[in-house]
Amino acid sequence: MDLKTAFKDRFKIGAAISGVNLRTPAHMKLLLSQYNSFTCENDMKPMYFLDSEANRLQPEKYDREPKLVFDHAIPYLEFAKKNGIAMRGHTLVWHNQTPKWFFYKNYDEFSEPADRDTMIARLDAYIKGVLSFVQDNYPGVIYAWDVVNEAIDDGDFRKSLWTKTIGTDFVMKAFESARRYAAEGVSLFYNDYNTYEDWKRDLIIEKILKPLIEKGLVDGMGMQSHLLMDTPSMEDYKTALYMYGALGIEVQLTELDIHNADPSEESMKALADRYAQLFDIIVKAKDEGAANVTAVTVWNLRDEDSWLTGFRREQSHPLLFEGRCEAKEAYYSVLKTVVDESQIDKWEVDYPKEDYKMQLPDKAGHKRSLINYHMVEVEPGVRLCYEEFGWGDKYIFSAQMGFYPIGLQQALAFNGYHVICITLRGFYPSSYVTEDYGDRWYDVFAEDVIRVADKMKIDKFFYMGASHGAGVGWHLCLNHPERVKGFIACVPGPHSLAEGAMSMRQMVLSGIIKEVPPMDPPIDNDPIREKRRLRRDEHIASNPEPDPREKAIDYGRPLLKYKTEEKLCEMLHTINTPTLILGAIDDPISTPELMIRTAKQLPHCKLAMYSNTGHNIDTDLIEELVFESVHFLTQVDKDGRVYESLRDF
């Protein structure tokens, strides 16, 4: 007996999946064996549909009808169509993961916000474009859409760029458009978290659901249901479920998980009991007609896939399956709410070992897509793209050829910092350049950081860079010490110029280096780091061959004008910027010896070295580096020192 069979007469049962899941055969076998519905975890959120490059390069053409792209959504839609499994669409309108430029005149976030009429037109055209593409090319695949996500916060409508440009009726406008273009039989949902809290529940019912119901625009309420082991009480959850059900619309649990950081047998038994209590309530509400529950979706397939580990900053064990697709006790407790124990078989997995290896996408014909980049012109003909993570006035800048989706920069944003990640000039999606700056490349890169900061009206900031990105940091500290409060230098060199002036990248591209040394040591029995390395490999593999103009660039090595090791060390000794060096014992590029040499020269430096990791430490040991970085940032902000003032004990 599987989940989809057990609940087939009551409601759909589904799971959220990521790109890693989609490309891992064992995970998809688990999905098809147990579930009859799935949700795309991230790749169908607004930022993945809006064509950043086309809209901002041709704003007059797309001003009221934004150009859309579907590269990220298509693999999920194809899988659903091929395998006959239903999909929930998530999500059309959200304050988060919608690019800032979308809300501004000429799609330029340094301009004024677009007027209400323009934004209503953009909203309508965007929803029409997404629904039309899906329904024309994949008819019947998506059975429900989360039209608006998380519009309520802090006792009222959430303050966002949607409310700033349109007003609180953006919710009504979104549902009007969705109803206008949705195919018959496709259900439209409002979706939110903590929907069991009495103030939020009542506000959603009165301010959102009832007005939409009155106009026939909404079909269902999405209760995300990210629960804790002790919150909410099951009585509060039941009350909310029944109140939504009493409105006569569908109810779906859209993102169910129960955070639990304790993997002990006793704790996992408690998790199973809590799932059983929840499903007892859901099933009873359905059977008695108190709430028309039409689907329950758990948020991810396995514990190892859960977003909660990153969000809660501790390993979470919140789901029904784990590891090599093995069922947990919670799986059986859910089944027992509708099936006699005698009918439940032990879930046994015999997938081949190779099915657990992620299949990397084919580069052929693949185009790099811009997702949530901002663009700023720093000089005539040169536009730089940057990504923005976090908010507030605790700024960290970073500048590199490109950035992985999850690394130290993004993690620092989760810890309260406003992180600006600039793609260097000459590298997509920033402007290509044909000028060869000779030994001034890193000076130009550093000036570009200052230009972006000036455009954003940011005076002083921290800088964080890895590898060549750290090279930019050395030049910033030398050329603009008054702007840089502190420098987080990850595997930063700088290399001895006795090794030559050519960059490692160019030596590989030109064939001087035939085989790149292993950047990271092998790891065993560390599934989180293995998952991170898989995602990093997937990201690299998904990028097409670089443009010839990129390949032609040899930015060399930082600090080229210091021709000898002696002069290089003398220069390092003049840098007074507080610096944290993060190094790796097994790094073949920025070797431990190099890191120690650099640290010895800097007057205000802390050096942290980690074993069993290599040159990609910033995506490998994220938590450790965040710990060191936040301590450093806090201390420098406090009194400009890399360590706390000493006390006489």
Determine the 3-state secondary structure of 305 from DSSP.
helix
Identify which of 29, 99, 24, 70 has the alpha carbon closest to the alpha carbon of residue 535.
24
Structure tokens at 237: 């959850």
Determine the 3-state secondary structure of 54 from DSSP.
helix
Identify which of 297, 316, 296 has the alpha carbon closest to the alpha carbon of residue 306.
316
Q: Can you tell me the distance from the alpha carbon of 543 to that of 617, in angstroms, rounded to the nearest whole number?
A: 21
CB-CB contact of 426 with 546 (8 Å)? no
Could you confirm whether 150 is annotated as catalytic?
yes
Structure tokens at 87: 């999909």
Point out the catalytic residue in the list 109, 150, 322, 447: 150
How far apart, in Å, are the Cα atoms of 10 and each of 14, 136, 145, 291? 13, 29, 20, 11
* 37: enclosing H helix or E strand: strand 37-40
Q: Strands 605-610 and 579-584: what pairing? A: parallel
Determine the 3-state secondary structure of 470 from DSSP.
helix
Structure tokens at 262: 């304790």
Sign (positive/negative) of CA torsion 260, 258, 19, 101? negative
Which 8-state DSSP code applies to residue 419? Answer: E
Q: How far is C-alpha 131 from the geometric centre of its chain's CA atoms?
A: 24
CB-CB contact of 319 with 257 (8 Å)? yes
Which residues, other chains included, contact 256 with Cβ-Cβ below 8 Å and sequence gap of 6+? 224, 225, 226, 227, 278, 296, 297, 298, 299
Identify which of 254, 110, 90, 95 has the alpha carbon closest to the alpha carbon of residue 170.
95
How far apart, in Å, are the Cα atoms of 85 and each of 4, 15, 31, 188, 306? 11, 11, 10, 19, 22
Q: Can you tell me the distance from the alpha carbon of 212 to that of 171, in angstroms, rounded to the nearest whole number?
A: 9
Angle 442-447-450 from CA coordinates, rounded to 5°: 135
Q: How far is C-alpha 136 from the geometric centre of its chain's CA atoms?
A: 29
Look at the chain and count its residues.
Answer: 649
Point out the catalytic residue in the list 255, 304, 387, 447: 255
426 φ, ψ (degrees, to nearest 5) = 95, -10
* 93: enclosing H helix or E strand: strand 86-94
Q: Can you tell me the distance from the alpha carbon of 286 to that of 284, in angstroms, rounded to the nearest whole number?
A: 5
Q: Can you tell me the distance from the alpha carbon of 620 to that of 404, in angstroms, rounded to the nearest whole number?
A: 11
Q: Can you tell me the distance from the alpha carbon of 256 to that of 278, in angstroms, rounded to the nearest whole number?
A: 10
Maximum Cα interatomic distance, the chain, rounded to a whole number of Å: 82
Identify which of 503, 519, 504, 493 has the alpha carbon closest to the alpha carbon of residue 596.
493
CB-CB contact of 545 with 489 (8 Å)? no
Q: Can you tell me the distance from the alpha carbon of 628 to that of 544, in angstroms, rounded to the nearest whole number?
A: 35
DSSP class per residue in 551-595: HT-----TTTT--SHHHHHHHHTT--S-EEEEEETT-SSS-HHHH
Could you confirm whether 348 is annotated as catalytic?
no
Q: Can you tell me the distance from the alpha carbon of 161 to that of 147, in angstroms, rounded to the nearest whole number?
A: 17
Residues catalogued as catalytic: 150, 255
